[in-house]
Structure 1
Amino acid sequence: MISQNSNITLYPLTIREDKKHYIVEDTTSGEFFEMPEVCIDAIKLINDRIPLDQIEKTLQAIYPEEDVDISAFAEQLLDFGLVKEIDGNEVKHEKADTTPQGFSWLPAKLGKFFFHRGSVFILFLVIFINILYIFMQPEYIPNYQDIFIFDSLVLSILFFMFISLIIILIHELGHILALRAHNLPTNLGICHRLYILLVFETDMATAWKLPPKERNLLYLGGIYFDQWILAIALTCKFFLPIEGTMLNSILSIIVLDIFIKTIYQCCFYMKTDLYYLFENLTGCYNIMENSQQILSRWLPFIKGNNQTEAFKEEKVYVRLYAIFYVIGVSVTLALFIFYVIPQFLYIFSKLIPALGSPSGNPYFWDAVLFILPTMIIMAVLVYSWIKSNRKKVD
């Protein structure tokens, strides 16, 4: 146990000043923690081998308005696995290096080719061009039936899944190259959102090694590539005589897919790229959990986490995020009403009559085979749930 008279030794830590507080990196495990200045001063005094009771008196003199409890802070450091020794006795921790190691083979020069100081300006320029295309040609606004380019439901869904998968991988490549532009490694994994949405996810943990301003482009990397793909698709539709062709149908699928993915990014109740960008711009890094505390007072179906507590200066941003949270839920409902539900109704309007047709009818087998990709998706979802639950248990 840690007492007021204890001397504690910490594992090697790297401390970086952030927007409002400090980011502390455990160089042994690769984990990061946000701490206010008073905690940083406490760590420095601990590293100077000063007993905890003296540290508390020193900090109380420096921070008279703070409720300084050095024993509680030392226990917190112990819970974080940052304490190596207490009074010369080694503290046993199972510390594994969680730092991602993947994609180091991608040269940093390739990342810097796409992501540099002018990239944010280029991104907003490309977004403006895409909006201009749709303003000039309103028929480019995607329709829920755009994915059904074949008479066969199976071929249409599989082809849409194939196109969507390519776009997702290109999106994640944007994040990967943005990280590689700073010579940072990363990993690519699979997870889910809202229990049913499968997503690839680039490990952005190493982004904490960078100053806040340089992290913005890392979170925008996927959207940057998405908007370029959308710009290419809309440019082809605008300038090429492809109306009524298969190429035009494929481009319409691309437009629809990126349109849905862009709306998804605005769903702030999930930790999307724009959510992390919002966190980084405001310097509030537990803003979702803190906002859920506020919303749970009026919306009982939202579970608040009593263990999270916002810093005083974050209250305004937390309330602002709570507004975005509600807007994000509304946007999702609109997406389901205008796109997802009509797509399912269309599918079932074709599927049920086909299942009732003779077994020799090709549409019957098309309906039967439609179950196959559905089962694959469910299997991957189950795998994602199991993997996610294992992490929570660990």
Structure 2
Amino acid sequence: MSAPSESRVRLRPLSVVSDGDEVVVGDPESGTFVTIPPVGGVVVRALQRGAGQREAAEEAEAFAGEPVDVAAFVEVLRELGFVDDGSGEPREAERTAAIQNKRWLAGLSPRVAAPFFGRAAWTVYGVLALFCVGTFLTVPGLWPSPGEDAFLTGDIGSSALLLVPFALLSMALHEGGHWLAARAIGINARFGVDRRSVLLVFETDLTQVWTVPRRRRYVPLLGGLAVDVVVLSLLLGARLLVHTGVWTPPGVVDATLAVWVYVKLAGLLWQCMVFLRSDLYAVLVNALGCRNLWRVKTLLLRRAFGRLTAEQRAELAGAAPADVRAGLWFRWVWLAGSAGVLAWFAVFALPPIVTVVDWAADMLAGGPLSGRFWYGALCAGLLLLPQVLVVVVAVKQVLRRRAERRAEASR
């Protein structure tokens, strides 16, 4: 072990958060976070306040009861990019989605956002969620019928065109809820577009939640669902007034409400699928104190089916105990979850797709010389384009993984 020097190490603006038996250290700007033993947190905090390496080593030894190689630890921090190189250049955050903002979004003051996610607000959201469940149970007629409610007008084509911006706006509201909740606890977020199973999705990068204690992370993780519940309850309340005869709006108003209930409910239930990288999956990971459950789940599945390589076996041996404990049962939840995704797709996505395809086939039957042909092709193409893009992205991912496996095998 090398003797520590008196030299001071200038660190980047790092966050240091105790998390169970470990400490989470990271650079909020680059979005890089790691877990280290508590003694490492002692060293980082000492360096942050300007202590030299020798002084930091003395504090670490007093904490651990044995000498600590601070010089080697500093080199690890340097490799992680946690040591200030003096360039003054901003660090670019690592990409976590196929399409993503490079910069973190702040904008709104935490003081303004905080009241929307205080105890009183969460109580209201809970009551509204119970209202939605109670309404669907007591008035089954308000449960969406996707094959009908997805289409605002009698013209399938124009309705299909309207459904796309409706769905995009719904997703934007959900992700905006995550961002607003993140600002409520003083952290930044950024938006992106990626693939989840059979769908293209918007997503909010909440990596900076690692800068706050575990109990505070639930606010941004559940912020999107909170917005979904508020919007859905307002829509259901309006539809309930129509259903009971208290309110008699024009037919197009009730049809618009029906479309939005369908869109909002489909998105909310999607986020409840814990076997996907959904909002509730993130809540589960936080509650269990996991670090990389998704990866460990994959390794445990490969081991169960006898497909674990020597390198992967070593990776699994070094996994966090919390990940392994949860992965032993979560792997089967994930595997069974494929049926859940197919059921969701069959209930919410397939009926509108079948209706549009049937309508488009009738329109295309007139041939390319008719206006009906091109109108049908345009509408069908716009509605089916997201599914086509999902297939393209999925194929590219499979080909890339195969190329990586071939490259590893040739070494």
Query: TM-score normalized by structure 2?
Result: 0.75
Mapping 1:1-394, distance limit 5 Å:
4=2, 9=9, 11-12=11-12, 13-26=14-27, 29=30, 31-41=32-42, 43=44, 48-50=52-54, 76-83=76-83, 96-98=91-93, 103-145=105-147, 146-194=149-197, 197-240=199-242, 241=245, 242=248, 245-298=251-304, 307=315, 309-357=318-366, 363-374=372-383, 377=386
Supply the distance in 2 between the matched residues of 1:342 and 1:148 (Cα, whole angstroms).
11
Paired residue type of 1:329: S
Distance 1:301 1:262, change over 3 A: farther
Supply the distance in 1 between the matched residues of 2:367 and 2:322 (Cα, whole angstroms).
68
> How many Å apart are 1:246 and its aligned residue?
1.9
Per-residue deviation, residues 260-308 of structure 1 (Å, max 9, x unmatched):
2122113334322111111222221211111222122346899996646
Per-residue deviation, residues 137-192 of structure 1 (Å, max 9, x unmatched):
11222222121333433312221112112211111221121122234333323333
Supply the distance in 1 between the matched residues of 2:388 and 2:89 (Cα, whole angstroms).
32
Does the Cα contact within 8 Å between 2:28 and 2:211 map onto a contact in 1?
no
Paired residue type of 1:143: S
Does the Cα contact within 8 Å between 1:188 and 1:203 map onto a contact in 2?
yes
User: What is the aligned partner in structure 2 of residue 87 from structure 1?
Assistant: none
Supply the distance in 2 between the matched residues of 1:374 and 1:313 (Cα, whole angstroms).
42
Does the Cα contact within 8 Å between 1:24 and 1:34 map onto a contact in 2?
yes
Supply the distance in 2 between the matched residues of 1:305 and 1:338 (Cα, whole angstroms).
38
> How many Å apart are 1:206 and its aligned residue?
2.7
Paired residue type of 1:211: P
Does the Cα contact within 8 Å between 1:153 and 1:367 map onto a contact in 2?
no
Paired residue type of 2:382: P
Distance 1:104 1:56, change over 3 A: closer
User: What is the aligned partner in structure 1 of residue 97 from structure 2?
Assistant: none
Per-residue deviation, residues 112-140 of structure 1 (Å, max 9, x unmatched):
23221233322222111100000111122
Distance 1:380 1:332, change over 3 A: closer
Does the Cα contact within 8 Å between 1:263 and 1:331 map onto a contact in 2?
no
Distance 1:118 1:299, change over 3 A: farther
Paired residue type of 2:284: F
Unaligned 5+ residue runs, structure 2? 95-101, 405-411
Does the Cα contact within 8 Å between 1:144 and 1:338 map onto a contact in 2?
yes
Distance 1:370 1:108, change over 3 A: same
Aligned to 2:268, the other structure's residue is in SS state helix
> How many Å apart are 1:258 and its aligned residue?
2.0
Unaligned 5+ residue runs, structure 1? 85-89
Query: TM-score normalized by structure 1?
Result: 0.78
RMSD: 4.3
Length, aligned pairs only: 379
Per-residue deviation, residues 26-72 of structure 1 (Å, max 9, x unmatched):
36745322223244356568865249999999898559xxxx99898
Q: Structure 1 stretch 141-150 or stretch 26-35: which is displaced more?
A: 26-35
> How many Å apart are 1:332 and its aligned residue?
0.3
> How many Å apart are 1:249 and its aligned residue?
1.9
